[in-house]
Amino acid sequence: MSHNTFGHLFRLTTWGESHGPAIGCVIDGCPPGIALTEADIQIHLNKRRPGQSRYTTQRAELDNVKIMSGVFENDNGEQVTTGTPLALLIENLDQRSKDYGDIKNKFRPGHADYTYFSKYGIRDYRGGGRSSARETAMRVAAGAVARKVLLGVSIRGALVQIGPHKVDRENWSWSEVENNPFFSPDVKSVSLWADYLDQVRKAGSSVGAVIEVVAEGVPPGWGAPVYSKLDQELAAGLMSINAVKGVEIGDGFGVASLIGEESTDEIRNLNGRPHFTTNRAGGILGGISTGEPILARFVVKPTSSILTSRGTIDSCGKETNIFTKGRHDPCVGIRAVPVGEAMVALVLADHMLRHRGQVGC
Amino acid sequence: MSHNTFGHLFRLTTWGESHGPAIGCVIDGCPPGIALTEADIQIHLNKRRPGQSRYTTQRAELDNVKIMSGVFENDNGEQVTTGTPLALLIENLDQRSKDYGDIKNKFRPGHADYTYFSKYGIRDYRGGGRSSARETAMRVAAGAVARKVLLGVSIRGALVQIGPHKVDRENWSWSEVENNPFFSPDVKSVSLWADYLDQVRKAGSSVGAVIEVVAEGVPPGWGAPVYSKLDQELAAGLMSINAVKGVEIGDGFGVASLIGEESTDEIRNLNGRPHFTTNRAGGILGGISTGEPILARFVVKPTSSILTSRGTIDSCGKETNIFTKGRHDPCVGIRAVPVGEAMVALVLADHMLRHRGQVGC
Amino acid sequence: MSHNTFGHLFRLTTWGESHGPAIGCVIDGCPPGIALTEADIQIHLNKRRPGQSRYTTQRAELDNVKIMSGVFENDNGEQVTTGTPLALLIENLDQRSKDYGDIKNKFRPGHADYTYFSKYGIRDYRGGGRSSARETAMRVAAGAVARKVLLGVSIRGALVQIGPHKVDRENWSWSEVENNPFFSPDVKSVSLWADYLDQVRKAGSSVGAVIEVVAEGVPPGWGAPVYSKLDQELAAGLMSINAVKGVEIGDGFGVASLIGEESTDEIRNLNGRPHFTTNRAGGILGGISTGEPILARFVVKPTSSILTSRGTIDSCGKETNIFTKGRHDPCVGIRAVPVGEAMVALVLADHMLRHRGQVGC
Amino acid sequence: MSHNTFGHLFRLTTWGESHGPAIGCVIDGCPPGIALTEADIQIHLNKRRPGQSRYTTQRAELDNVKIMSGVFENDNGEQVTTGTPLALLIENLDQRSKDYGDIKNKFRPGHADYTYFSKYGIRDYRGGGRSSARETAMRVAAGAVARKVLLGVSIRGALVQIGPHKVDRENWSWSEVENNPFFSPDVKSVSLWADYLDQVRKAGSSVGAVIEVVAEGVPPGWGAPVYSKLDQELAAGLMSINAVKGVEIGDGFGVASLIGEESTDEIRNLNGRPHFTTNRAGGILGGISTGEPILARFVVKPTSSILTSRGTIDSCGKETNIFTKGRHDPCVGIRAVPVGEAMVALVLADHMLRHRGQVGC
């Protein structure tokens, strides 16, 4: 993990800006012999693609991914990974000629405009440049490859809160997640959220959201003390997603008000294998997986691209105001669901290989 | 960040087990010429040292640190860093000869016993071995060195919640933090927490806690997109602390129920310098510091070492029960305060050097 | 340095195969504000480009580089680096439809065919796939960027030996290097080498070569003990070039037969600055630059693509013979000159930033 | 590989100065369950220990190693690695109170005094501080652990040249290496070298040497393109040893004057397995092992600690002269033999684990 690279043995390096010619990534360290086509990746990209409902940005991007290297036909004529770097590329189609006048000279509050400029003395102001969430398309693409490495592991995400409205966990249904534009597991939340977001959108405003990702099928033993803990790297991966302000594992902040008798998951035998009767720990103890489902949650702030004028300064330091014209996302958290899944997949694939390296299969 | 190493340019590698002869660390990449004595480090270790009140473990460790390498006299006869590896060492004094019978053959639920054994096929069961929070002494020691690197930056932590009892932020006083055994910033919380913890201790139980760390004086521009974000690495650093289950930056999970107009900090001028009128972002936008105070919060679960018997299995897989005899900590979160400060210091020192490397002073 | 990534703060990641759609790279950690156009890079690529004389391969590649990300206009309308990842891309034009029959099923001896297959269980046999020296184009491109970072440092390479024929160092002229197709600094070697290589080429054979790279203007103090030594990383960078079998710094293997009085460079004052009267150490002591020119030398083996049949096995393990049809390079060492320069530039740029990070400007 | 850390999955971090209280190292990533005692390490340290013959320095160090962490008893009562960091420590006994007056204010030419001071603005002048070859004791110790990881791999080194005197390869006998104080494989060289070194020693001078290391039993497939090549990392590891100025793999610089027909090792079948009829490549093609013995060679310069006065400057920049009083090594190359073996072992152990991580067992 360093600047624009994530992971140790399964390593993702991304590049590209929101309005440059393309975005892309290099995945290094992928095991060889894994069947992989562009369609395998596209299916996940399509879940994140903008413009799919009125609740997400209307930017028209097909996000068609191309595999530029790292695959070849095996003896059966199947396209498989070769063990050398996978390079993926998505062209930016919707670089509409646009008046960036305001953004060019003013720092949008809540965005990275001021901090990038403070750091580098220059910034690519077109659509946020490198700080745009467009970068997360490559995370989703790489996550699709990571999933292929993680045989027997299922990774699923769901939106569990929009604004003040949480799902009712009694209603949780994974199959429902695929049926609504919010990735909600609670069918009853759908019309409520739809109405709420319509209001938010009409007000030119935005709201935050909470996403939960669950990984099932991870065997006990993945992860590593003490600075490569599985929960540590999940926290890093999820917190690195644009607009994320918090991460929880298992019961998360809820453990503060528990007593030890409540928070300690007991171990029993189930069908001859160790089994935890509860999973408040979220599948991780001492930074290493327990074999129970891994539970991670993260919060995404409301986008700062809103139609209300907000105070800011310009690049000369003069006070001014700004508001964001044009398309915007009332709840960017929705599209963060496949991104969160991807980051969990990347962390797990990396740890699977690292575990195998140190300890053997 | 890899296994037992934290950081990139300012790198901490720790070693040692709870009941081995010693614990230690190597700090690599420290700038040369920084005045550093054992006393500079000891002052921070003493804040974390066990046995200082009846609310923390009674293990009797002096935690006297020795600097084994990396310092030398400069021309003024002052001991300074040389730019080569600093090695620090603390001998384990309180390795009381003890009957580990129960722990030896049973996995303590809620601890890392089962996961270490699953991963490695062997574990050092004496006091948790490598998974013991004793390792955090070296974090505090290294954090003391990181503070020396961070001229002009102040890093302070406080306990803001024990069990269900939160501090009243209206009463916040940094000077009060030094005055009570809980690192509480709210004088009114002290007797309440004392009574509550006495109850918990008498019940042989334990509770969780929330810690907040604030770093002031960080200039705008530290941090790096997109996989070395400042908030990402703070999350990694804090989540790597034993028993931590969640991390927040700024308003954290609270942003879920905000609207964009509320969550977007406006920028104004104050005394000719950019200033954010609010700091819901916690001093970080796009992974890069804004110049405002950096606010991080993390939650520590109740220790699983309690006097109540809990179900578990033994190393043969047979169901059994266990409870933890002897000394224990009713609220391990208290001693996590200096550890959290140290992790923030380590992340900031690393990013200060990385920023200087890429961008110049 | 890890799989397909080179460097620490100035990091190069390359991807692509000889006969895929393109090759490319990502340069991460480049300082912002450096003027950079495609032409700045192209000028160096053109020195390496195949097909420029009858002494190098006739593969027709224009090697036109595109900058895909990481640059933007500054206030003066000049295109400069932004501090975010530079992505470079070169399309492969000359992917002539070809009968790979022989190469497909047989391991070319002296090439990486057998070892890639042993490692990965699959290989991209088209032109060597990832093991092709085509990858070195991206090194040269990245080296061009590194040179821009290294203000005041000059990095020049020359061919000093082809087969048994060494240059006469008495005749050394850097300006001559630009005048002949061999990058020879000795005008008298040119016709001799031309005749010799014509013979080699007609015989369908190949020969080895030795390249020397000199970096001037490096201040004292770059490099780092003890596992990031400047000479260590130069050795790594040069040995990573295809077909390289040895690396020397300064007097190299010649120091074996010297005595201490001969090999120890004395230090004097010259114009008020420290100066070494000789430079047998090649500008590096204890892994850190002395301020004298840095001298590195490396040897490239004769290409194994020759017209003489050689014994090998096929992918079923059966003994057979093979020889390489079509275009080939009688002395691949010639085109290694700009590649060697590039690797030296990459190592120095990385160490410049690392030094600045730890010690300050 | 970064500053004072070597390796990726099997990682060595060393610390300590020549005349500090101790030197030590941390080995991170070692597989668990490997039987390891201090005696296993000591046997290799004893080969490097100073003062064993009149041809090496008379510094009296026992170099008794202590294992401080990372081992524990398994169920059979055998001490094995636990998978957590191994910390090793050797106390410095012979820190004789000494007048460092001359060294304190003058830069010893040929040593790292001037470059360390240039870099850091301070240096520990006692015996070279961190730049002392004393650090290599920890490499040998870590190499002993690496050997334990490398089941079935034999790593042996020999001195093949002292000054101008090379061994006769016709006489090569590995068993002879153990019989003489020079690690010479050629019994006939022994008296010749003894006489020659006596002369050198009496003259207060020093000579260079060449060491060869051979690793047998490495399966095909270890190593990785393109910036983690096996030969690249061997070059890095060997060049990082004090006073090394060149590294060769296989035929090394000799390949310059070969033609392709000579340098290309043919592949045949031997007992149903692929076999190279020659091994000019030194067991590595395309950065990946071929299954043949890995051959590496490196050259060590004469130590600059000689009794002849040499010109230098003092810390004020004034010209002066210096010569080294007291004990010294006429041929430091001799003690570099076990160090070279250790570096080869470290590289191979790291690549074994990395290969297993990416590709599986």
Question: Residue C220 contacts by C-beta under 8 Å, 6 or more apart in sequence?
Answer: C274, C288, C289, C290, C291, D114, D115, D118, D119
Question: Residue C145 contacts by C-beta under 8 Å, 6 or more apart in sequence?
Answer: C27, C30, C34, C36, C40, C41, C81, C86
Q: Percent of chain C beyond pLDDT 70?
A: 96
Sign, CA torsion C101/C102/C107/C108: negative
Strand partners, B161: B166, B210
Question: Residue B74 contacts by C-beta under 8 Å, 6 or more apart in sequence?
Answer: B33, B80, D122
Distance CA B329, CA B50 (A): 9
What would the pLDDT profile of C43-93 be if each residue is shown by its tens digit?
999 998 776 777 776 666 789 999 999 999 999 999 999 999 999 999 998
Q: Does B11 sit within 8 Å of D2, measured CB to CB?
A: yes
Contact between D129 and D111 under an 8 Å Cβ cutoff? The reply is no
Amino acid at A252: G
Closest listed residue to residue C286, CA positions, set D307, D325, D244:
D244
Give, to the nearest 10 degrees, the angle between helix C336-359 and helix C230-239: 150
Contact between A285 and B115 under an 8 Å Cβ cutoff? The reply is yes
Q: Does C21 sit within 8 Å of A84, measured CB to CB?
A: no
Distance CA D150, CA A157 (A): 42
3-class state of residue C3 by DSSP: coil
Q: How distant is the Cα of B253 from the closest Cα of chain C, in angstroms?
A: 29
Amino acid at C46: N
- pLDDT of D60: 67
Distance CA B4, CA B6 (A): 7
Q: Inform me whether the pLDDT recorded for A97 exceeds 60.
A: no
Distance CA B165, CA B180 (A): 16
Asked if the C-beta of D361 comes within 8 angstroms of chain A's C-beta atoms, the answer is: yes
- pLDDT of D43: 96
Contact between D29 and D56 under an 8 Å Cβ cutoff? The reply is no
| CA atoms in the 13 A half-sphere facing the CB of A353 | 27
Asked if the C-beta of D85 comes within 8 angstroms of chain B's C-beta atoms, the answer is: yes
Asked if the C-beta of A354 comes within 8 angstroms of chain D's C-beta atoms, the answer is: yes
- pLDDT of C335: 95
Distance CA D321, CA D307 (A): 12
Q: Does C255 sit within 8 Å of D302, measured CB to CB?
A: yes
Band (A327; pLDDT cuts 50, 70, 90): low
Instruction: Show the beta-strand stretches assigned E in C17-121.
Output: 22-28, 65-69, 71-73, 79-81, 86-91
Q: What number of other Cβ atoms are within 10 A of residue C229's Cβ?
A: 28
CA A218, chain centre distance (Å): 19
ipTM for the assembly: 0.97
Closest listed residue to residue C144, CA positions, set C353, C351, C333, C343:
C343
Task: Print the SS3 string covering D275-344.
Answer: EECCCCCCCEECCEECCCCEEEEEEECCCCCCCCCEEEEECCCCEEEECCCCCCCCCCCCCHHHHHHHHH
Q: Inform me whether the pLDDT recorded for A95 exceeds 70.
A: no
Q: Which two tokens stand for residue B353?
A: 């050097």
- pLDDT of D70: 98
What would the pLDDT profile of B35-83 be if each residue is shown by its tens digit?
999 999 999 999 987 767 777 766 667 899 999 999 999 999 999 999 9
Closest listed residue to residue B83, CA positions, set C288, D90, D229, C269:
C288
Asked if the C-beta of A288 comes within 8 angstroms of chain D's C-beta atoms, the answer is: no
Q: Inform me whether the pLDDT recorded for A72 exceeds 90.
A: yes
Please report which residue ranges of chain B form alpha helices under DSSP H.
Answer: 38-48, 101-105, 113-120, 136-149, 174-177, 187-202, 230-239, 260-263, 336-359
Contact between D274 and C271 under an 8 Å Cβ cutoff? The reply is no
Question: Residue B178 contacts by C-beta under 8 Å, 6 or more apart in sequence?
Answer: none
The position carrying tokens 């933007």 is C72
Band (A98; pLDDT cuts 50, 70, 90): low
Question: Residue A233 contacts by C-beta under 8 Å, 6 or more apart in sequence?
Answer: A223, A347, A350, A351, B236
Q: Which two tokens stand for residue A19?
A: 């309005």
Distance CA B321, CA B338 (A): 34
Distance CA B40, CA B19 (A): 26
Which residues does chain A have within 8 Å of residue C13's beta carbon, measured at their own beta carbons? 5, 13, 26, 28, 85
- pLDDT of A331: 95
Say which of D248, D264, D277 has its CB closest to residue C110: D264
Amino acid at D188: K
Which residues does chain C have within 8 Å of residue B356's beta carbon, measured at their own beta carbons? 356-357, 360
Distance CA D314, CA D316 (A): 5
Asked if the C-beta of B123 comes within 8 angstroms of chain D's C-beta atoms, the answer is: yes
- pLDDT of D328: 73
3-class state of residue C232 by DSSP: helix
Distance CA B217, CA A7 (A): 31
Asked if the C-beta of C110 comes within 8 angstroms of chain D's C-beta atoms, the answer is: yes
Q: Inform me whether the pLDDT recorded for B17 exceeds 80.
A: yes
pLDDT, mean of residues A335-345 = 98
The position carrying tokens 């070395």 is B228
Distance CA A235, CA B75 (A): 45
Task: Print the SS3 string covering chain A.
Answer: CECCEECCCCEEEEEECCCCCEEEEEEECCCCCCECCHHHHHHHHHHHCCCCCCCCCCCCCCCCEEEEECEEECCCCCEEECCCCEEEEEECCCCCCCCCHHHHHECCCCCCHHHHHHHHCCCCCHHHHHHCHHHHHHHHHHHHHHHHHCCCCEEEEEEEEECCEECCHHHCCHHHHCCCCCCCCCHHHHHHHHHHHHHHHHCCCCECEEEEEEEECCCCCCEECCCECHHHHHHHHHHCCCCEEEEEECCHHHHHHCEHHHHCCCEEEECCEEEECCCCCCCEECCEECCCCEEEEEEECCCCCCCCCEEEEECCCCEEEECCCCCCCCCCCCCHHHHHHHHHHHHHHHHHHHHHHHHCC
Query: Could you give the dihedral angle defined by the CA atoms of residues D339, D230, D263 and C53, in that order, rounded to the nearest 10 degrees?
Result: -120
Q: How distant is the Cα of D144 from the closest Cα of chain A, in angstroms?
A: 18
- pLDDT of C5: 98
Closest listed residue to residue A26, CA positions, set A95, A81, A89:
A89
Nearest residue on chain B to A292, judged by CA atoms? B115
Nearest residue on chain D to A353, judged by CA atoms? D357
Q: How distant is the Cα of D357 from the closest Cα of chain A, in angstroms?
A: 4
- pLDDT of A91: 96
Q: Percent of chain C beyond pLDDT 90?
A: 87
Nearest residue on chain B to C84, judged by CA atoms? B225
Q: Inform me whether the pLDDT recorded for A352 exceeds 60.
A: yes
Strand partners, D298: D211, D247
- pLDDT of C324: 78
To 5 degrees, how large is the angle CA A28–CA A31–CA A34? Answer: 115
Distances (CA, A) of A43 to A51, A70, A180, C176: 16, 20, 17, 57
DSSP code, position B255: G
Band (A290; pLDDT cuts 50, 70, 90): very high
Query: Phi/psi at C34 (nearest 5 deg)?
Result: -95, 125
What would the pLDDT profile of C93-106 be if each residue is shown by its tens digit?
876 556 676 788 99
Q: Which two tokens stand for residue C67?
A: 């900058």
Asked if the C-beta of A310 comes within 8 angstroms of chain B's C-beta atoms, the answer is: yes
Distance CA C24, CA C70 (A): 14
Query: Phi/psi at D244 (nearest 5 deg)?
Result: -80, 135
Q: Inform me whether the pLDDT recorded for B296 exceeds 60.
A: yes
Q: Which two tokens stand for residue A97?
A: 């000629």
Q: Does D268 sit within 8 Å of C2, measured CB to CB?
A: no
pLDDT, mean of residues B228-246 = 98
pLDDT, mean of residues A231-248 = 98
Q: Which residues of chain D have pLDDT under 50?
A: none
Q: Does D354 sit within 8 Å of A357, measured CB to CB?
A: yes
3-class state of residue C166 by DSSP: strand
Strand partners, B259: A207
Long-range own/partner contacts, residues D99-104 (CB < 8 A, 24 or more apart): D100/D125, D100/D126, D102/D322, D102/D325, D103/D322
What would the pLDDT profile of B190-227 be if each residue is shown by its tens digit?
999 999 999 999 999 999 999 999 999 999 999 999 99
Q: Inform me whether the pLDDT recorded for A262 exceeds 80.
A: yes
Neighbours of chain A (3+ CB pairs under 8 A): B, C, D
